[in-house]
Structure 1
Amino acid sequence: MSQKTPPKTMEPPKIEYPCPDYPIKVIGKKSDQFQSLVVEIINVHVPDFDESRITIQDSSKGTYCSLRMFITATGEQQLKDLHEQLIASDQVHLVL
């Protein structure tokens, strides 16, 4: 008789800090100020942020805009604070 192993529970991947090239995607209503607002917030939490690596994609109707970027994540608190400040903006709809 074979013994069944218990199913593995899915755990989020462990992040080792500092984590270079940590991906962030920010989605909001397309406006002239959206990208500059996001960059301003990120610069508060990531002083060495490289703006040249931002990828911009407009929605099919051009109403929304997504910004994809990479940061060097230094810890969970940094990521939490960054997420909270981005979401607190009335221009940001979603942070991934």
Structure 2
Amino acid sequence: MSDKETLLEFPCQFPIKAMGVSSDQFDITVIEIVRRHVDDIKEGAVTSRPSKGGKYTAVTVVIEATSRKQLDAIYQDLTDHPDVLMAL
């Protein structure tokens, strides 16, 4: 899918969300994966929220997305990682 075939207009602010089993390293893992594709993650762009029971954590990173190709690569890397159960 090309940038012309998406409803998004680039560049744009875009939230990347990844969920996994809660651990001290999960937030760091998600941020490291996103940083492979984004030059600058702004202060306050990362939020983390545990599930009601605390077993899972959802990490959201708001980025300045530059293309559909960039987003696809981020999601691919996230879903390829064994600690990431789901990426939205």
TM-score band, normalised by the shorter chain? 0.7 to 0.9
For structure 1, the 5+ residue unaligned runs are 1-11
TM-score, normalising length from structure 2?
0.87
CA–CA distance in structure 1, aligned partners of residues 6 and 23 of structure 2: 34
Give the count of matched residue pairs: 84
CA–CA distance in structure 1, aligned partners of residues 74 and 42 of structure 2: 16
Q: Which residue is equivalent to 2:9?
A: 16
Q: How much identity, in percent, do the aligned residues show? A: 36
Q: Deviations over 1:11-55 (max 9, x none)?
A: x96111111x21111111111111111111111101111253212
For structure 2, the 5+ residue unaligned runs are none
Greater Rg by CA: 1
- How much is the aligned-residue C-alpha RMSD, in angstroms? 1.5
The aligned amino acid for 1:17 is F
